[in-house]
Amino acid sequence: MRPLFSSARLVRDNLFILGILAAVAAAFLFPQWGKRLNPSSLTTSLIVAVIFFNSGLSLRSESIVSGLKDLRLHLYIQSFIFLLIPLFFLLTSLALKRVLAKEFIIAFFALSCLPTTISSSIVMTQRSGGNVAGTMFNSMIANLLGIFLSPLLLSLLLFGSGDLPSSTHILRTLRNLALTMLVPVVFGQLARFFAGNRVEGYAGRTSKINSFFVLLLVFFAIAQALNPPAGGGQLLRLGPPLLFLALSHLLLLGLAYGGAWSLGFSRPDRISALYAGPQKTIAMGIPLLTTYFAQAPALLAAALPPLLFYHAWQLLVASVISSLIPAKKV
């Protein structure tokens, strides 16, 4: 039997997480470069536009159309992503706001509104013998819907909690998001339509390109927050919020699988819901939050650590689960 982990495989499977750690370290060591290389947040706006152009370029519209047949599963997973998880964090925030700072509550709201992952949820579903087509369809649809729904849901949560002063702020933010995210996706789809098969070679590399740009966004966001330098006590405050997120993810996994089981879904569909429902994307999450909180760097700095932690934690938990329920048992 092969060992579950090897050093080479561990590094290969976690290159992105290692890249995030490197970006965070670089931001702490050279915060002044974050300001010099990103004047008036122009660089981050361009990076976000390129990320979503690449996303539109690699998005296969025909795959979305062909996946419409399993409507019941899709409604369950999309409702879990965009309704149940935001509702969960909204309700728990009523108790947490008495013990946690307001910026952490906002960070939970921001995390809860994001769509699911694409690559990791598909890979884990395949490893466990789940409905790969169902996971692929729902992850793509969630990321497409997230361009509209995530900022709307976040605005509603913040507005309802009194953290956004007016609807004018919401409308201005949504307009900026449309210009930097939706428009590039549309142009990416148009480029894919006109270029046809010639675009496949480039589209296959967009994941790596986008990952590199996401690391740059992490560097700029943290570097901006450290200008002027923040106190070291901030790190100590992260313990309780991150512990809450770790426990919340485990609970959400149980709810996703248990809910699918109670509704009579097949085992492959339950596995699809298990991986596609509770996970949250960092690839779309960071550019979205970077744009949403462009005028509030302190809130962006508070929102990033929970998202980075949740991403790493969900990958670790999913890896353990996939090793316990391998595909050969199907």
32, two tokens: 């002044």
DSSP 8-state code for residue 174: H
- Rounded to an integer, the average pLDDT of 284-291 is 84
Write out pLDDT tens, residues 48-95. 788 778 777 776 666 556 556 788 999 999 999 999 999 999 999 888
**pLDDT at residue 310 is higher than 80:** yes
pLDDT of residue 231: 45
- State the residue for tokens 């884990």: 124
How far is the C-alpha of 8 from the C-alpha of 306, rounded, in Å? 28
Distances (CA, A) of 62 to 45, 123, 310: 29, 21, 31
Mean confidence (pLDDT) of the chain: 80
Number of Cβ within a 10 Å radius of residue 255 = 17
Closest residue by Cα to residue 74 from 265, 237, 212, 202: 265
**pLDDT at residue 127 is higher than 60:** yes
How far is the C-alpha of 144 from the C-alpha of 119, rounded, in Å? 15
All domains in the chain, ordered by first residue: 30-227+236-329 (1.20.1530.20)
- Predicted TM-score of the model (pTM): 0.76
Q: Which amino acid is at 160?
A: G
Write out pLDDT tens, residues 189-226. 888 888 776 766 665 577 678 778 878 887 887 777 66
Distances (CA, A) of 115 to 54, 146, 188, 248, 267: 17, 6, 20, 17, 23
Q: Which amino acid is at 248?
A: S
pLDDT of residue 189: 81
Count Cα atoms within 13 angstroms, Cβ side, for 89. 29
Distances (CA, A) of 111 to 114, 115, 233, 307: 6, 9, 23, 6
116 band by pLDDT with thresholds 50, 70 and 90: very high
Write out pLDDT tens, residues 129-174. 888 888 888 988 898 888 888 988 998 888 766 555 455 666 666 6
In our burial notation (b when 16+ CB lie closer than 10 A, e otherwise), range 6-20 reads eeeeeeeebebeeeb
pLDDT of residue 232: 45
**pLDDT at residue 234 is higher than 80:** no
pLDDT of residue 220: 81
223, two tokens: 């570097």
In degrees, rounded to 5, the angle at the alpha carbon of residue 174 between the alpha carbons of residues 171 and 178 is 140
pLDDT of residue 192: 81
**pLDDT at residue 273 is higher than 90:** yes
In degrees, rounded to 5, the angle at the alpha carbon of residue 110 between the alpha carbons of residues 104 and 111 is 90
